[in-house]
Amino acid sequence: MESPMHSKRKIIKMSPRKPVYEGKAKQLFEGPEPGTLIQHFKDDATAFNNVKKGTINGKGVLNNRISEYLMLRLQDMGIPTHFIRTLNMREQLIKAVQIVPLEIIIRNYAAGSFAKRFGVVEGKALGHPLIEYCYKNDALGDPFVTEEHIFAFGWASPQEMDEIRMYAFRINDFLSGLFMGVGIRLVDFKLEFGRLQENDREQIILADEISPDNCRLWDAKTGHKLDKDRFRQDLGNIEDAYREVARRLGVLPQSDKAEGSYVIQVNAKAPKSKKSKAKAKTTAKKRK
Ligand code: 5GP
């Protein structure tokens, strides 16, 4: 016979979450309250406009934590962002915004497409931070555009671009210092902004994510790459690089802490004992 407790038990039917958008590295679902979304970080990685595809194990978990940390630090210094709170290892609750269809790129050192376009050696310090804009359109390969294009196509207004530019440089100043504090050079990065409609007022806020997926992060001493270029350029040790960024920021998940700091070990110039040399060799083999 069923106990009184059992007879009272209600079966709560969980309705499947409604997907809203699926991108290359993230997926968006309808949020629990109006005006919110759930941002899910995937392990999928793509490069060269989807030509190269792969999986970086654990990337979603690490990017969720790294992005949460950076968004919160930016909020502390008065930058409005879409981040509300972390929900679980791979998901965060965010404010729903209308995305401005632009990639805002800030560069402190020459690298990537910039180094290629202008025939400059990677790592050359730029006189001052540069801002560039790309039109967010995969089919067109995210072409570089100027403000003239942005206004002519109506992607953003002059007033919105003033705000976006001001935020982007403030974010760069802050993040450059924050990363330098943990021995990382912020070479360049990409930001996305959105329009938030709140109380009859429209506001530009930071959206998307900030992680090794959309930043170039080099070890300040060795120049070792700690970002998605390891995937783009087949450099190996991709997971270790992302984990190292999280470790230095102090947000490495507990379960990862035992893994130690492989990137530092392989780069360290300090003489190694016979025992540690043998250990590094076996670790490297295992990870190939
Ligand atoms: P580049 O123009 O040199 O390829 O990229 C400049 C910076 O913006 C790099 O940090 C790169 O990771 C980021 N970036 C540019 N386009 C994209 C994009 O479509 N997706 C992501 N995740 N990052 C991008």
H helix or E strand, kind and range, residue 102: strand 102-109
Does the pLDDT value for residue 276 go beyond 70? no
Does the pLDDT value for residue 264 go beyond 50? no
How far does the centroid of ligand 1 lie from the alpha carbon of residue 189, in Å?
6
Which residue has the CA at smallest separation from atom 23 of ligand 1? 214
Which residues, at least 6 apart from 100, have a Cβ–Cβ distance to it below 8 Å?
A: 155, 156, 160, 164, 192, 193, 194, 195, 204
> How far is residue 115's CA from residue 124's CA, in Å, rounded to a whole number?
9
> How far is residue 218's CA from residue 182's CA, in Å, rounded to a whole number?
11
Judge contact between 46 and 52, C-beta under 8 A: yes
Q: What is the pLDDT of residues 240-251, one digit of tens each?
A: 999 999 999 999
> For 257, phi and psi rounded to 5 degrees?
-65, -35
How far does the centroid of ligand 1 lie from the alpha carbon of residue 242, in Å?
16
What DSSP string runs through 193-243?
EEEEEETTEEEEEEES--STTTEEEEETTT--B-STHHHHTT-S-HHHHHH
Q: What is the pLDDT of residues 141-176, one digit of tens each?
A: 999 999 999 999 999 999 999 999 999 999 999 999
Ligand 1 in contact with 103 (CB < 6 A)? yes
